Structure 1
Amino acid sequence: MLFFRTHIAAITGMDDFDEEAVLDKIHLVEGDILMLSGSLVDGSGTPSSDFDFCVIARSKDDRFRRDTFPRTEHMRYYTSGDRVKASFDYLPHSLLGVDVEYWTAEEVADMLAAHSRLYAHLRGRARKSSGFAASAVDFRVLSRLTYGVPLTNAVGFEELTRSVRPGEIAYTAFRTAVGSYPDFRDLAGMWAQGDHESALVAARKLGVDTFRGLTHAHGNTNRNPKYLARFLARLPLPEELTRRFNRLNTYGPPAGAEAGETVLEWLDLVDLAFAEIRAARDKAEAFVGRRDFLDLLKNELHQSMRWNAEISNEYCFRAREAEDGLPPLRELLTAMTARTAAAHHLPLQEWAKGRTAPVGENNKSA
C-alpha cells in the first residue's frame, strides 16, 4: 500500500482520514505516475479542501473514456467530449474530498513545451497579457508540477518534469496578473464623472491584481486568488502593507469612509505593491530586468508616435513596474482627470521627437 500522510501539511481542524480509502478512488494501473499536490500539500488548505491527485499514464486507456471510466457510487466525473479529465468524490464522515485528474505523459510534455513558447513570447512584451488563454497551458497543472510529490514511479516523474522551471512559470503568471493600464484608465474615467462608487470597484480589482502579481514576483506559481491572503502572509513584506491590504480587501472601507477616499487608499497600496515588485524582480532570474523592460515598453507603446499627454500618462503608469521615482497614482489620476500629463522624468519627448502618429497594427507603430 502507498503512504502519503507525511506529505500533508498540518491543517487546523482537519478530520482524520483512511489512506487506503482515499487511494481506492484513484484507479491506478502499473506504470502510472501518481502525483500528490494541492492546498493540503502546500499548506494553504482548510478542513474542507480536497486531496488533489494527478494520474499521469503512459497512454490513454479505459480511464480516459466516458463509456469505460471506472465509476463508483456518488462519484462525479468531468469530461470534454468523450475524454474524461477528472473525477471527484467525498470521503464519508468528513469535509474532505478526493480530486483526481487524468493526463498522459505526452499531454504533460506537450503542455511544458507550450509553456516554454508562452514564456518566450511574454518575455518580449511589456503589457499584461491574456495570451495564455490560447496557449494550451493549464496553469493549475503547471503550478502543481513545481511542488507535487510523486507517490509512484518517481524516476518517470523526474524525467517528465526535468524541464519544469518554477521561475518561468511565476513570470508568466505575473505577466497575466499584474494590474493593467486599461483598468486604471477606466477608473480615471469613472473618477472624472464623479462616480466614485464604480471607481472603487475598479480600484479594488487593480489592487488585487497587483498584489497577485507581487506574489508571483516572489516565486508563487499558483494563480488562484482565493489563497491570496495566505500567500502574502508568507512573503518578506512590511507587516503594515500586508495588514492594510487584507483589511481593505476583506472588510472594505471603514465605517463612515467615503468611496472617493477609499479609492485613493487603494491607489496608495498599489504604489507600495509596485515598489515591492521592483525590489523582488531584481532577484528573480526569470524576470525581465528593469532596463530591458523599459526598452520593451518603449518599443511596444508607440515608439514612433508623437508625444501627447495620454501617451505620457500611459508610460507613467506602466513604467512603475520597473522604474523608481515616478509620480504616485494619486497624482496621475489628478492629471488624467484634468486632461494633462503628469510630470515625470521619462524621456518620452526625446524618443518621440520628429515622429509621426502611428499607422501600424497589433499595437505597434509603423
Structure 2
Amino acid sequence: MDVVNEPLHAPPAYKNALGGDGVTGWDWVIKSFELARQYCSDSTKLLINEYNVLHSSSATTNYLNIINLLKDRGLIDGIGIQGHYFEFRSDMNASNQYVYDINAIKSNLNRLAETGLPIYITEFDIDEPIDSNQLAQYKIYFPIFWTHPAVEGITFWGYIQGDVWTSHPNTYLILVSGTERPALQWMRNFVLCPFPPNFLTPSSGNDLPRNPLLSWSSSDSATSYRVQISLSNSFASFLIDSVVTDTFYQSAVLPAGTRHFWRVCGINQFGEGYFSNAVSFVTGNQIVAVNEVGYSPTAFLLEQNYPNPFNPSTKIRWSAPSSGRHTLKVFDVLGNEVLTILDENREAGTYEIDFNAENLPSGIYFYQLVYDHLLQTKKMILIR
C-alpha cells in the first residue's frame, strides 16, 4: 500500500494535522505510517513512493533520509520509485533535449538497495510516438530495473492507447486494435532471458596471465554464455566474442601489459540476456599452460539454501567431485564481501552447514562457493 506519495515534491495540505515537519523534519510522514501500521492488517506491506529521485544524488539522499527514519521505527516494507521517462531523459523529438547520466541512475538505485528494503518501480513508462524510438529506449532503461536484484516489481504507467496519462499520450504499449507495439513484443522475450551473471573473476588485478581464466556465477535458465573481451569499456570492438556452455572461459593469448575489459551475458531459447557490468584487469607477460587446470563443472553443485527467505538461520548444501579448497563467502547486493563462512581443504563429498545471519540486517545477499578454479553463486533473502 502506498502510504505517502511524493513527500519531496507534493506534501499534502493536511500535513500539519499529522504533526507537520516536527523534530525529524518528517514527523507527518512518520505519523502517516504509524497510523497505517496501526489500522492495516499485518499482511499489508507499507510503501513510500516518489519521482525524480534516481538521476540526482542529492534527491536520493533526501529520499533516503525519510526512508531510514521509517526503517529505524519498523514502519516501512518497501520503496517506490515511479520511473517515468522524464525522470531519465526528454523524448527523442523534444526541442529541449536532456539525458541524465545513466551511471548516476544505476548508482543511486544501488544506494536505495543498500537499505535492504525491496524496491518497486511503480509508474514506469516510455513516452515515444515512434515505435522504433520507444523500443530503443525500453532496451536501455527497462533492463536496469528488471535485472536489479533489489527490484521486486515493475508497474507500467500507460498500457492501452487512449487510456493513458493525457500529458504523456505515447506511453501506451497496445493499440486500440489490440496490436502490440514492438517494445512490448521485445519485453515478452526479454523477461524470459537469463539475468546477468554476477561475481566475475577476475574483477580487477595487475600482472595477470596473458591467457587468463575467466569465471562467473551461473544464471538461472541460461543454457550458454556470451563472453566478450575488449580494450575499451564501450565494447565498440572485441578481441574475443565467444559463446560457451560452462561458467568459465580460458582466454586466448592477449596483448601483454594491457588493460582489458570483459563482460558476460546468459543465453537461452528466448535470446540473450542483459550483459553483466564490465570489469577489467591488466595482463603481464606470463602465459599459463591450459592443461595445468582441471575442470569437473558438471559434478560441482551448489544448491539453493533452505529455507529461503529465512530468519535468522538457513542451510547451505553443496557437492564436490574431488578433494580441494572450499571457500564459501557471503556478499551484499552491491557485491561487497560481508563475511567468509569457511575457507579450508575438504575431501570429495556432499556437505551441509547451518548459516546464522543474526548479526546481519534484513536484505538480499549472495553466497558464493569457490572450489578450486570453479565458482557458483546463489541468492538468499534475510527477512526479520
Structure with the larger helix share: 1
Per the normalisation by structure 1, the TM-score is 0.26
Structure with the larger strand share: 2
Per the normalisation by structure 2, the TM-score is 0.25
Higher RCO structure, 1 or 2 (CA under 8 Å, sep 6+): 1
